[in-house]
Structure 1
Amino acid sequence: MRDPCIIRGADNRFHMVWTVSWKDRGIGYASSPDLIHWSEQQYLPVMEKEPTAQNCWAPEITYDAKNKQYMIYWATTIPGRFPATDTTGDGNNNHRIYYVTTKNFTTYSDTKLLYDDGFNVIDATIQPDGKRFVMFLKDETKKPVPQKNLHIATSNTLTGGYSKASPAITGNYWAEGPTAIKINDTWIVYFDKYRDHQYGAVTSTDLEHWTDVSDKLHMPKGTRHGTVFTITAKELTELQ
């Protein structure tokens, strides 16, 4: 169980997805009313119709209030599908972002491509922002020039039409696993500085100009790629 993503759904339940292994063609799913008592874990074979798919990494969930459905999305490498960048990643990895939709976590749509901007991409996470959606993503390019940094893309619809990636919003270090929240007028994007074995954060009020506030973070030792989300004071008390 790696890269957990948790959101509070429209049904007031917490829904979680996660990476189940390095090389499976599916992801994990479970739900909870209180973050304490959880449903039975399910395996969702989201890439079963792609027999050469090498993996399903870092799934996330975003709720589409307009269409009253959830979108689950993740990164997968399918050898030869995007040949121009087949040699740019770690080993044979050449990821793009794929998705399914569901209204009830019982039946799911067919899997479709969500994001391809011509480079190796993983760790997408999407937040609504008024009438648009903001995707935070990692450029996973390693060769010939390493990127390993975070960017944003925007769309007026959750399931497609995302813009080209912005300039990098993170600095001269390798970053992954972004998770974002907007508090008042300020966006905070938390991420894993995984080669430095520490967490980082950047903030912005306009999604264009970013300030690194990593030195203000105090995180539990060993914290890795996860999710930030809001809960009530009562829910916190129950957890404590």
Structure 2
Amino acid sequence: MKKILVFVFLSALLSSATAQDAVYLFAYFKDNGQDGLHLAYSRDGYKWQALNNDHSLLTPTAGGDKLMRDPCIIRGADGLFHMVWTVSWKEKGIGYASSPDLLHWSAQKEIPVMAHEPGALNCWAPEITYDARRREYMIYWATTIPGRFTAGDTTGDGNYNHRLYYVTTKDFQHFSPAKLLYDQGFNVIDASIVPDKGRFIMFLKDETKMPPQKNIRIAVSNTLTGGYGKPSPPITGQYWAEGPTALHTAGKWIVYFDKYTQHRYGAVESTDMKTWTDVSDQLSMPEGIRHGTVLAITGKELERLMNANNR
């Protein structure tokens, strides 16, 4: 009996230490994305501090315009960190690189996901989600193909009427053909999908300009690559928001987003995915932060990042 109690006590201590060791990392860009990847960290999800004195940690080399906008980093099933990003406002591919430690990165490459579509105008805000059941990754992004969809064709900005597309891959070397991921009859960009209790939750931006939307909504599916239905009512307020990224911590969801017309970041939180509370006034973010994504790392990984940046 004593051995059982000791085991339970030690397990509780280890669980507590693990929880205390959890650190969150925010990958983001600044200005137009020309200088590359920026990182910030937080221990509570509200107070964020820039690493490397808020200087870029990786200079963009992929694509014709060599930008690194909207970076998305996930920890893969292979133990590597995989990153995708927007390389240009008007190109038909997305950037990709991987790293074992967030310090040393593979050669950057452009994945030509929409090269087969002559009329495609862009590939914006790519993200990656891992499907554990299929043991593969899904990369997804927003593209406008003029004339492809009539719904929403006159409600956006200029000629842009986006829909979400995707490819799948197991190794980031071979990719499935691009397919349509989400079309619910409106202009949509900036999807971010997280697995949750056997389902997949998509946070998305309703990009409709007239009548004004420009807000964050939610769609849900039982499968990663399709089946997402009509979106929820907006979870953000009466301001323009983009680039949602979600963190589940301490029994609640925090969704961060770029209040891009106000040049600041915002956040809402919920315990049930139905009732959302604005907690933007609790956030402290690096100055000039733009559209990014959040992930969890260990305390040791953060220590390596901080030590490397102080050399």
Q: Tell me the TM-score range normalised by the shorter chain.
A: over 0.9
Identity of aligned residues (%): 73
Q: 1:20 aligns with which of 69, 79, 87?
A: 87
Amino acid at match of 2:271: T
Distance (whole Å) between structure 2 residues aligned to residue 115 and residue 181 of structure 1: 22
Q: 2:268 aligns with which of 194, 202, 213?
A: 202
User: 2:278 aligns to what?
Assistant: 212
User: 2:256 aligns to what?
Assistant: 190
Distance (whole Å) between structure 1 residues aligned to residue 120 and residue 274 of structure 2: 35
Matches within 5 A, 1:20-39: 20-39=87-106
Q: 1:232 aligns with which of 275, 282, 298?
A: 298
Please tell me whether residue 60 in structure 1 is matched to residue 127 in structure 2.
yes
Secondary structure of the residue that 1:3 maps to in structure 2? Answer: strand
Distance (whole Å) between structure 1 residues aligned to residue 73 and residue 194 of structure 2: 13
Unaligned runs of 5+ in 2: 1-67, 307-311
Distance (whole Å) between structure 1 residues aligned to residue 273 and residue 164 of structure 2: 21
Note the C-alpha offset of 1:161. Answer: 0.2
Name the larger-Rg structure: 2
Secondary structure of the residue that 1:215 maps to in structure 2? Answer: helix
Amino acid at match of 2:262: D
User: 1:99 aligns to what?
Assistant: 166
Relative CO higher for 1 or 2, CA cutoff 8 Å, sep ≥ 6? Answer: 2
Aligned residues: 239
Amino acid at match of 1:142: K
Please tell me whether residue 152 in structure 1 is matched to residue 245 in structure 2.
no
User: 1:172 aligns to what?
Assistant: 238
User: 2:70 aligns to what?
Assistant: 3
Distance (whole Å) between structure 1 residues aligned to residue 137 and residue 222 of structure 2: 16
More helix by share: 2
Secondary structure of the residue that 2:195 maps to in structure 1? Answer: strand
Secondary structure of the residue that 2:290 maps to in structure 1? Answer: coil
Matches within 5 A, 1:70-149: 70-143=137-210, 145-149=211-215
Distance (whole Å) between structure 1 residues aligned to residue 233 and residue 268 of structure 2: 14
Secondary structure of the residue that 2:255 maps to in structure 1? Answer: strand
Output the TM-score relative to the length of structure 1. Answer: 0.99
Note the C-alpha offset of 1:63. Answer: 0.2
What RMSD over aligned residues (CA atoms) do the two structures have, in Å?
A: 0.5
Distance (whole Å) between structure 1 residues aligned to residue 186 and residue 75 of structure 2: 31
Secondary structure of the residue that 1:83 maps to in structure 2? Answer: coil
Q: 1:44 aligns with which of 92, 104, 111?
A: 111
Amino acid at match of 2:102: L
Secondary structure of the residue that 1:15 maps to in structure 2? Answer: strand
Distance (whole Å) between structure 1 residues aligned to residue 227 and residue 305 of structure 2: 39
Output the TM-score relative to the length of structure 2. Answer: 0.76
Which stretch shows the higher mean deviation, 84-93 or 158-167?
Answer: 84-93
Secondary structure of the residue that 2:110 maps to in structure 1? Answer: strand
Amino acid at match of 1:103: K
Secondary structure of the residue that 1:237 maps to in structure 2? Answer: helix
Distance (whole Å) between structure 2 residues aligned to residue 222 and residue 238 of structure 1: 25
Unaligned runs of 5+ in 1: none
